[in-house]
């Protein structure tokens, strides 16, 4: 980019490709690769791959010939980045398609209304597991949210000095705890008091709460931080004490964001399998008391139906996929509801 | 001093008269919640240590297979590291591309919904990635690994013989890559979006093409964030359990061969597989391996945080 090149800043070939050049090239390469795929009988994924490669090569050659090296590189990188993005999205679509198409086979009323009690091969359902998941997650949420929100209030409104720094640091540490280690912690905690054979629903809740607390703190902290200071000062100026200011002014302003954060945290932990596998155990019948005995839950249900099918295996595998579908529906509903709340009630604050 | 003056230093100092009961109670409650974090973490460390202790001090003959604890853990550490390494190698370049696409290339309308989609990816439970990996990606990988074994077999990684079920380390690593991609790309996207507009526009005004602008302005600005995000992703991959548990067919050997049907297990997957059937000292051994996993992820996360906080301290944000 030396100053001497002012008149031809983009190299010797400074022509310009037509506006829809990329589109044209990709339409052509899609057709070409469709022909190749049909001729060789290849899968749609290979067709997509060929389309990408041929298109990339085509735009490179054309742009190099007409526009010169720098513009060609620009086009190539833009196209390549887009293609990598598409490549990253393919597995997601495949995953959702697979779960829906395989899960629908057993996603019937029997699946949603019956447990596995006395079921040997066909039939049966996941009601006991779904109820277990709701109870375990609800107990975890009830434990994690007050601690998390109050800790965030401490960090934003009250914290100072070394204690604040160390709590911030340890929240980060907690964020990095692998889920299986949280499960081991819950197990160790109960095993010391009740012996090593203990399996309870509430042990799973403890593990999930350990995973939830840092997520809740982080999101609540962020939401409290963006509440404008002017609101606090206005409240102080009216003679409102600090604790009422926090309760009546700061928290309501940040509420939508905090609720969103909590729902996302729930969505994150509701599908956790590893910690529940080693704490709640599994059972075939409905157990609604988290303090008494083993408790089935959806993730472990899916795992066990899939990993340890009986004979014949088909009904087990089908139940596993139906369970996976139910799990993904729950996660998506939580996720979308959280986004909806954020968009509808959230105070739009840009940093 | 009373709590009221802390967050708003401009405010004139309030006298003791303003310290009300409500204030003291509420700040006490909030502080207690903060302290709970420290207590819980200390609890995690103490309870894990106390349950792992019998395994650490037990005579070698009592341990599984009569092996030394280090000998038992080593193949698992190896498997954990290698699966995470595959995940990082695949995920980081893709995550940077996805982040650049959402922050600089895609039109505004698309980039919003794409961000949602990527966040949703992060919320899909790992068990579902696992059964998808074994039902779809595994079988799809068989022809590819077969080809790799036939044509690139001289590279130790693809020595073969290729697995016919697709239950290989390569597939497990690819699934892990998919799972950490949203995390890495979310961190990278956030920082790419914060690249100062002035710098970007100056680059364009000086005649840089869009790619040159990205390479010379956006990427250097976001480099440390990409590194930090990758470390966070690595921490996640190291501790990820179910996808590996369900995909890998494990045999407890140490090998760099990624595509055969004999694979080292990972710490987390080993716990998930063995724990439900274990009793006595075996449980303590598994908890000891969990402690090792905790230490490894802790180290990785701390490095990530150090990078992030150095970046914040240097005032780039």
State whether A168 and A232 are in the same domain.
Answer: yes
Beta carbons of A156 and B43 less than 8 Å apart: no
Is the CB of B181 less than 8 angstroms away from the CB of A273?
A: no
Among candidates B223, B110, B191, B134, which has minimal Cα distance to A86? Answer: B110
Which chain B residues in 55-74 lie under 8 Å from chain A, judged by CB atoms? none
Residues B284 and B148 in one domain: yes
- Same-domain status, A269 and A204: yes
- Taking the C-alpha atoms of residue B271 and residue B81, their distance in angstroms, rounded to an integer, is 16
Q: Which of residues 153-172 of B touch A (CB under 8 A)?
A: none
Domain boundary among A85, A105, A125: A105
By the 10 Å C-beta count (0-12 exposed, 13-18 middle, 19+ buried), A310 is classed as: exposed
B131 domain residue, yes or no: yes
Number of neighbouring beta carbons within 10 Å of residue A342: 19
Q: What is the CATH number of the domain that holds B285?
A: 1.10.3720.10
Report the alpha-carbon angle B257-B258-B261, nearest 5.
Answer: 90
Within-domain flag for A350: no
Q: Residue with structure tokens 């597939």? A: B171
**Residue A153 touches chain B, beta carbons under 8 Å:** yes
Q: Write out pLDDT tens, residues A88-116.
A: 888 888 898 999 999 988 888 888 888 88
Partners of A184 on chain B (C-beta within 8 Å) are 48, 51, 271, 286-287, 290
Residue B92 confidence (pLDDT) above 70: yes
Residue B232 pLDDT > 80: yes
Residue among B264, B259, B247 at smallest CA distance from B175: B247
Instruction: Evaluate if residue B241 carries a pLDDT over 80.
Output: yes
Instruction: Indicate if A230 and A118 belong to the same structural domain.
Output: yes
Q: Are residues A128 and A85 in the same domain?
A: no
Q: Is residue B62 part of a domain?
A: no
Confirm whether B210 is domain-assigned: yes
For residue B292, name the pLDDT band (cuts at 50, 70, 90). very high
B94 and B125 belong to one structural domain: yes
Considering the domain architecture, whether residues B94 and B18 belong to the same structural domain is answered as no
Q: B162: distance to nearest CA of chain A, Å?
A: 21
Residues B15 and B33 in one domain: yes
Q: Identify whether A159 is part of a domain.
A: yes
Q: Would you state the torsion angle of the CA atoms of residues A151, A157, A161, A162, taken in this order, to the nearest 10 degrees?
A: 0
Boundary residue ending a domain (A88, A105, A122)? A105
> Cβ–Cβ of A278/B271 closer than 8 Å?
yes
Asked if residue A125 and residue A97 are part of one domain, the reply reads no
Distances (CA, A) of B250 to B183, B245, B263: 28, 9, 5
Question: How large is the average pLDDT for residues A184-210?
Answer: 89
The rounded distance, in Å, linking the Cα atoms of B98 and B113 is: 13
Q: String of b and e for B14-52 (b: at least 16 CB within 10 Å)?
A: beeeebeeebeebbebbbebbebbeebbeebeebbeebb
User: How many other CB atoms are there within 10 angstroms of residue A89's CB atom?
Assistant: 15
Q: For B26, which of A92, A246, A274 is closest by C-beta distance? A: A246
Instruction: Summarize pLDDT for B195-206 with one digit per residue, the tens.
Output: 899 999 999 999
**At residue B115, does pLDDT exceed 50?**
yes
* B74 and B9 in a common domain: no
Residue A123 in domain: yes
Distance from C-alpha of B43 to C-alpha of A13, rounded to nearest angstrom: 68
Task: Report the gap between the CA of B156 and the closest CA in chain A (Å).
Answer: 27
B312 pLDDT tier (thresholds 50, 70, 90) = low
* Stretch A314-329: mean pLDDT: 91
User: Are A340 and A111 in contact, with CB atoms under 8 Å apart?
Assistant: no
Contact residues on chain A for B127, CB-CB shorter than 8 A: 271, 273, 299, 302-303, 324, 327
**Contacts B290 to A, Cβ<8 Å:** 180-181, 184
Preceding peptide of B272 cis, ω within 30°: no
CA distance, residue A113 to nearest chain B CA (Å): 22
For residue B268, give every residue at least 6 positions away whose Cβ sits within 8 Å of its Cβ, in sequence order, or none.
A178, A180, A274, B80, B238, B239, B240, B241, B244, B245, B293
For residues B23 and B3, the answer to whether their CB atoms sit within 8 Å is yes
Q: Are B191 and B217 in contact (CB under 8 A)?
A: no
B47 within some domain: yes
| B120 has a chain A CB within 8 A of its CB | yes
B295 touches chain A (CB under 8 A): no
Rounded to the nearest integer, the mean pLDDT of chain B is 83
Residues A310 and A177 in one domain: yes
Domain that holds residue B140: 67-313
In a shared domain, residues B104 and B26: no
**DSSP code for A157:** I
Regarding whether A271 and A154 lie in a shared domain, the answer is yes
Whether A167 sits inside 8 A of B38 (CB atoms) is yes
Judge if B41 and B100 occupy the same domain. no
Q: H or E segment at B274? A: helix B267-274
Closest CB to B239: pick one of A91, A179, A267. Answer: A179
Q: Are residues A159 and A264 in the same domain?
A: yes
Picking from A77, A105, A133, the residue at the C-terminal end of a domain is: A105
- Top residue of A105, A172, A197, A243 to mutate, by most chain B CBs within 10 Å, is A243
Residue of B nearest to A9 (CA): B207
Same domain, B11 and B140: no
Query: What does each C-alpha distance from A290 to A140, A186, A189, A286, B94 come to in angstroms?
Result: 11, 14, 16, 11, 42
Residue A301: closest C-alpha in chain B: B127
Residue B316 has pLDDT above 50, yes or no: no
What would the mean pLDDT of B151-168 be, rounded to a whole number? 78
Instruction: Look at residues B9, B33, B57 and tell me which one is the last residue of a structural domain.
Output: B57
Query: Is-contact A229 A309, C-beta < 8 A?
Result: no
Q: Quote the DSSP letter at residue B266.
A: -
Whether residue B241 and residue A180 make contact (CB cut-off 8 A), yes or no, is: yes
Distance of residue A71 Cα from the nearest chain B Cα, in angstroms: 7
Do residues A233 and A88 share a domain? Answer: no
Same domain? B208 vs B138: yes
Name every chain A residue with its beta carbon within 8 A of the beta carbon of B239.
176-181
Domain carrying residue A62: 3-105
* A193, closest residue in chain B (CA to CA): B47
Query: Which positions in chain A touch B22 (Cβ < 8 Å)?
Result: 241, 243-244
**A263 touches B at CB < 8 Å:** no
A84, A150, A197 ranked by CB distance to B94: nearest: A84
Residues A157 and A265 placed together within one structural domain of the fold: yes
> What's the gap in Å between the CA of A192 and the closest CA on chain B?
8
Work out how many domains chain A is built from and give that number.
Answer: 2
Give domain status of residue A351, yes or no: no
Q: If you average pLDDT over residues A188-215, what whole number do you get?
A: 89
Question: So what's the pLDDT on residue A8?
Answer: 44
What's the count of helices (H) and strands (E) in chain B, helices before strands?
12, 0
Of B29, B211, B300, the CB nearest to A73: B211
Give the pLDDT score at A210.
94
Instruction: Tell me the percentage of chain A whose pLDDT exceeds 90.
Output: 31
For residues A125 and A52, give the distance between their C-alpha atoms in angstroms, rounded to a whole number: 43
Residues A16, A306: Cα–Cα separation, whole Å? 56
| Model pLDDT for residues B50-78, shown as the tens digit of each residue | 888 888 887 777 777 667 788 888 888 99
| A118 and A91 within one domain | no
Average model confidence (pLDDT) across chain A: 85
CB contact under 8 A, A328 and B128: yes
Does residue A132 lie within any of the structural domains?
A: yes
User: Which pLDDT value is given to residue A7?
Assistant: 42
As to burial, measured by CB atoms within 10 angstroms (0-12 exposed, 13-18 middle, 19+ buried), residue A80 is: middle
Which of B11, B119, B283 minimises the CB distance to A196?
A: B283
Which is more confident, A194 or A139? Answer: A139
Tell whether B143 and B7 lie within a shared domain.
Answer: no
Whether A263 is covered by a domain: the verdict is yes
Query: Would you call B137 an interface residue with chain A, using a CB distance cutoff of 8 Å?
Result: yes
Cα Rg for chain B, rounded, in angstroms? Answer: 25
Asked whether residue A310 is assigned to any structural domain, the reply reads yes
Geometric angle at alpha carbon A143, from A184 and A219, rounded to 5°? 95
Å from A31 to nearest chain B CA? Answer: 24
Residue B250: phi and psi, rounded to 5, are -100, 150
CA-based nearest residue in chain A for residue B137: A91
How many CA atoms lie within 13 Å of B95's alpha carbon, on the beta-carbon side? 36
| CA–CA gap between residue A264 and residue A346 (Å, rounded) | 15
Domain assignment present for residue A290? The answer is yes
Residues of A in contact with B117 (CB under 8 A): 89, 92
Per-residue confidence (pLDDT) for residue A54, from 0 to 100: 85
- Asked if the Cβ–Cβ distance from B301 to A84 is below 8 Å, we say no
For residue B27, is it within any domain?
yes
Domain identity same for B46 and B168: no
Respond yes or no on whether the N-terminal peptide bond of residue A57 is cis (omega within 30° of 0): no
Residue A214 has pLDDT above 90, yes or no: yes
According to the per-residue pLDDT averaged within each range, which of A46-50, B253-257, B273-277 is highest? B273-277
Beta carbons of B131 and A167 less than 8 Å apart: no
Could you tell me the pLDDT band of residue A348, with boundaries at 50, 70 and 90?
Answer: low
* Percent of chain A topping pLDDT 70: 94
User: Cα separation of A184 and B51, whole Å?
Assistant: 9
pLDDT of A346 > 80? The answer is no
Q: List the structure tokens of B207.
A: 């005649």
Lowest mean pLDDT among A301-315, B134-148, B210-224, B299-313: B299-313
pLDDT at B314: 64
User: What residues of B are in contact with residue A45 (Cβ under 8 Å)?
Assistant: 140
Which of B241, B274, B279, B296 to substitute to test the interface with A, most A CBs within 10 Å? Answer: B241
Residue A43 sits in the same domain as residue A85: yes
CB contact under 8 A, B128 and A99: yes
Please report, for the domain that includes residue A270, its CATH number.
1.10.3720.10
- Of A102, A306, A333, A345, nearest to A223 by C-alpha is A345
Among candidates B48, B105, B232 on the partner chain, residue whose Cβ is nearest the Cβ of A184: B48
Instruction: Give me B214's structure tokens.
Output: 């990205």
Partners of residue A237 in chain B, C-beta under 8 Å:
none
Same domain, B126 and B29: no
Q: How far apart are the C-alpha atoms of B118 and B114, rounded to whole Å? A: 6
The number of folded domains in chain B is 2
CA distance A270 to chain B (A): 8
Taking the C-alpha atoms of residue B161 and residue B148, their distance in angstroms, rounded to an integer, is 10
* Nearest-neighbour CA in chain B from A333: distance (Å): 11
C-alpha dist (Å) from residue B63 to A188, B66, B67, B264, B288: 19, 5, 6, 19, 12
Closest CA to A173 of B301, B312, B289: B301
């Amino acid at each position: 980019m030396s100053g001497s090149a002012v008149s031809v800043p983009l190299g010797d070939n400074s022509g310009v490709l037509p506006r829809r050049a990329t589109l044209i090239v990709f339409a052509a390469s899609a057709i070409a690769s469709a022909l190749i795929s049909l001729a060789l009988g290849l899968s749609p994924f290979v067709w997509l791959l060929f389309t990408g490669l041929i298109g990339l090569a085509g735009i490179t050659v054309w742009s190099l010939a007409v526009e010169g090296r720098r513009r060609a590189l620009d086009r190539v990188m833009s196209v390549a980045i887009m293609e990598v993005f598409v490549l990253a999205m393919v597995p997601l679509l495949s995953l959702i398609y697979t779960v829906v198409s395989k899960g629908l086979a057993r996603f019937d009323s029997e699946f949603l209304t019956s447990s596995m009690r006395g079921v040997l091969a066909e039939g049966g359902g996941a009601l006991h597991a779904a109820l277990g998941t709701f109870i375990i997650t609800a107990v975890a949420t009830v434990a994690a949210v007050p601690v998390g929100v109050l800790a965030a209030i401490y960090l934003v409104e009250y914290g100072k000095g070394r204690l604040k720094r160390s709590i911030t640091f340890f929240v980060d540490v907690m964020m990095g705890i692998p889920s299986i280690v949280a499960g081991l912690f819950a197990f160790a905690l109960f095993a010391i008091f009740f012996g090593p054979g203990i399996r309870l629903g509430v042990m799973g809740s403890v593990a999930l709460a350990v995973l939830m607390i840092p997520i809740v703190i982080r999101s609540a902290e962020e939401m409290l931080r963006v509440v404008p200071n002017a609101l606090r000062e206005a409240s102080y100026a009216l003679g409102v004490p600090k604790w009422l200011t926090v309760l009546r002014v700061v928290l309501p302003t940040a509420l939508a964001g905090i609720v969103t954060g909590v729902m996302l945290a729930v969505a994150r932990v509701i599908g956790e399998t590893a910690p529940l596998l080693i704490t709640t155990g599994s059972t075939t019948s409905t157990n609604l008391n988290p303090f008494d005995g083993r408790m089935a839950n959806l993730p472990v249900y899916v795992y066990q139906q899939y990993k340890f099918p009986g004979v014949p295996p088909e009904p087990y595998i089908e139940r596993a996929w139906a369970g996976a579908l139910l799990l993904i529906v729950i996660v998506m509903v939580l996720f979308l509801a959280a986004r909806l709340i954020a968009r509808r009630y959230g105070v739009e604050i840009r940093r | 001093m009373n709590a009221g003056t802390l967050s708003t230093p401009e405010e004139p100092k309030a006298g003791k008269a303003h310290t009300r009961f409500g204030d003291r109670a509420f700040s006490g409650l909030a502080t207690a919640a903060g302290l709970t974090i420290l207590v819980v973490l200390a609890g995690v460390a103490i309870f894990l240590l106390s349950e792992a202790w019998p395994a650490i001090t037990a005579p070698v003959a009592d341990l599984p297979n009569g092996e030394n604890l280090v000998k038992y853990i080593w193949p698992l550490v190896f498997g954990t590291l290698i699966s995470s390494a595959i995940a990082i190698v695949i995920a980081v370049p893709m995550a940077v591309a996805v982040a650049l696409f959402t922050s600089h290339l895609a039109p505004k309308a698309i980039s919003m919904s794409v961000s949602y989609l990527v966040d949703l990816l992060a919320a899909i439970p790992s068990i579902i990635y696992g059964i998808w990996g074994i039902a779809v990606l595994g079988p799809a990988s068989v022809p590819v690994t077969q080809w790799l074994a036939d044509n690139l077999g001289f590279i130790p990684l693809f020595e073969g013989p290729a697995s016919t079920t697709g239950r290989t380390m390569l597939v497990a690593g690819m699934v892990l890559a998919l799972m950490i991609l949203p995390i890495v790309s979310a961190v990278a996207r956030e920082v790419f979006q914060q690249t100062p507009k002035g710098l970007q526009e100056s680059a364009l005004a000086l005649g840089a093409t869009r790619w040159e602008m990205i390479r010379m302005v956006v990427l250097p600005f976001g480099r440390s964030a990409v590194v930090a995000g990758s470390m966070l992703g690595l921490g996640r991959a190291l501790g990820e359990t179910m996808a590996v548990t369900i995909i890998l067919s494990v045999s407890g050997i140490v090998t760099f061969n990624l595509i055969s049907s004999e694979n080292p297990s990972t710490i987390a997957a080993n716990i998930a597989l063995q724990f439900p059937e274990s009793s006595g000292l075996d449980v303590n051994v598994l908890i000891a391996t969990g402690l090792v996993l905790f230490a490894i992820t802790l180290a990785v996360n701390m490095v990530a945080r150090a990078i992030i906080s150095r970046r914040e301290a240097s005032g780039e944000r």
